[in-house]
Amino acid sequence: MSLKDKLPGQLGFGTAPLGNMFRAIPEDEAQATVHAAWDAGVRYFDTAPFYGSGLSEIRLGEALKQYKRDDYVLSSKVGRVILDEVEDAAARDLGEKSGVFEHGRPNKIVNDYSADATLRSIEDSLKRLQTDRLDIVWVHDIAQDFYGDQWLEYFNQARTGAFKVLTRLREEGVIKGWGLGVNKVEPCELTLDLSEAQPDGFLLAGRYTLLDHERPLQRLMDSALAQNVEIVVGGPYSSGILAGGSHFEYQQASPEIIAKVEQIKRIAAAYNVDIKAAALQFSLANPAVAAVIPGASKPGRIAEDVAALSAIIPAGFWQAMRDAQLVSERAPLPIDEVKA
């Protein structure tokens, strides 16, 4: 059974913003956003202990507890254990993502991908989420952006710990699937090359977007498709820059990125295309992609995401993007599906 068969549709809700990503979100606003997603028909919710030191899970659990558990799919992540001990959230060393959750809870975060830590992480997540099970579990951030030159050490810890535990839990029917939840392509490629690990998919954030997609097209997308390992695209708006924000890769966008976005905006304006629609439909045009999970911190954003998924985009827009070399010539586009 493929990941597409496990997910209820192509649009999910990435709840990193509920962990107070970039700003402190009022509790009522966070709750209203989850309920707006539900009312819009979204039935796949993704979270992680890392998002605000458990805050995203707590808020999501509070919102979802009124709905029947069998009516939605829930994924969270392992690799970080949240302690009762507190620390200065703004002073954490998060590699390239420093400061992302400085408005989250101050609970100390411990990086640990061992077997015991994986089981503890899942148990703690279930308590915060007020639920009895997770459907999908992603191994979180075993990549260069968080661990620099040490990332392979963490990867190997996960390979001998988390990977084996999650494989067993899947075989026992405790979870429906597992994979990596990362912002880099290399850990996914490395996992596909392992004979002992058979993930169901990857949650790849920010790497297969309208703005940034060249690297996974070199090998990952074809290899994943060949092994029936499908991709959930996280961060389809490239941390917000494609949705009217100012962040790219969780930091303030560079002048070069801003200039590229302006080029896309000009073509979009010429064809009366909403960039959010182009972003979601671009990612989903790749046959290896099972779903997209944009994040949101305001209820109104959810309706925009749902509308973007079904918006009609003229073929001329995609051809203009290709002609301007703003999308890779190797990237499947919605017009290619029509031709097929």
44 is catalytic: no
What are the residues whose beta carbons fall under 8 Å from the beta carbon of 177, sequence distance 6 or more?
3, 6, 135, 136, 137, 170, 199, 200, 201
Q: Which residue has the tokens 């535990």?
A: 165
Question: Nearest CA to 288 among 213, 196, 176?
Answer: 213
Is 46 an active-site residue?
A: yes
Q: Is the Cα dihedral 261, 205, 295, 82 positive or negative?
A: negative
Closest to 17 in 3D by CA, of 29, 6, 5: 29
Residues 6 or more apart whose Cβ sits within 8 Å of residue 105 = 52, 53, 54, 55, 89
**Cα–Cα distance list, 133 to 73, 76, 117, 123, 196 (Å):** 10, 10, 17, 9, 25
Q: Which of 77, 97, 184, 260 is catalytic?
A: 77
Short-list 115, 119, 180, CA closest to 151: 180
Catalytic residue among 46, 112, 135, 305: 46
- How many residues comprise the chain? 340
Separation CA 87–CA 159 (nearest Å): 29
The catalytic residue among 44, 51, 72, 113 is 51
- Residues near 172 by beta carbon (within 8 Å), at least 6 away in sequence: none
Residue pair 280/242 in contact (Cβ under 8 Å)? The answer is no
H or E segment to which residue 234 belongs:
strand 230-234
**Enzyme catalytic residues:** 46, 51, 77
